[in-house]
Structure 1
Amino acid sequence: MNAETTQRWSAETDRVLREAGWFPGRSVPTQEWESTLLEHGGFEIHEAARRFLAEFGGLESRERGPGRTMARMGFSLDPTVAEWDDEIFDVLSEEADTDLYPIGSADRRNSYLGIAPDGAVYIGMDSVTLLAETSDRALEKLVEGIR
Structure 2
Amino acid sequence: MQPESRQRWSAETDKVLRDAGWRPGRKVSTVEWERTLADHGGFRIHPAAREFLAEFGGLEVGARGPGRTMAKLAFRLDPVAAEWDDEIFEVLSDEAGTYLFPIGEADRRNSYLGMAADGKVYIGMDTVSLFAADAEEALEKLVEGIQ
TM-score range, shorter chain: over 0.9
TM-score, length-normalised on structure 2?
0.96
Aligned-residue Cα RMSD (Å) equals 1.1
Q: Percent identity of the aligned residues?
A: 71
Shift >3 Å, 4+ stretches: 3-6
Q: Distance in 1 between matches of 2:133 and 2:5?
A: 18
Contact persistence 1:88–1:125 (CA under 8 A): yes
Unaligned runs of 5+ in 2: none
Q: Distance in 2 between matches of 1:7 and 1:68?
A: 20
Q: Distance in 1 between matches of 2:122 and 2:68?
A: 19
* Residue of structure 2 equivalent to 1:89: 89
User: What do the CA deviations read for 1:23-66 (whole angstroms, capped 9, x no partner)?
Assistant: 00000000000000000000000000000000000000000000
* Residue of structure 1 equivalent to 2:102: 102
Instruction: Please list, as runs of the form range in 1=range in 2, the aligned pairs for 1:109-128 lying within 5 A after superposition.
Output: 109-128=109-128
Q: Aligned with 1:8: secondary structure?
A: coil
Q: Distance in 2 between matches of 1:78 and 1:132?
A: 18
Unaligned runs of 5+ in 1: none
TM-score, length-normalised on structure 1?
0.96
Q: Distance in 1 between matches of 2:110 and 2:88?
A: 13
* Residue of structure 2 equivalent to 1:73: 73
- Amino acid of the structure 2 residue aligned with 1:27: K
- Amino acid of the structure 1 residue aligned with 2:14: D
Contact persistence 1:77–1:105 (CA under 8 A): yes
Aligned residues: 145
CA shift, 1:5, in A, is: 6.9
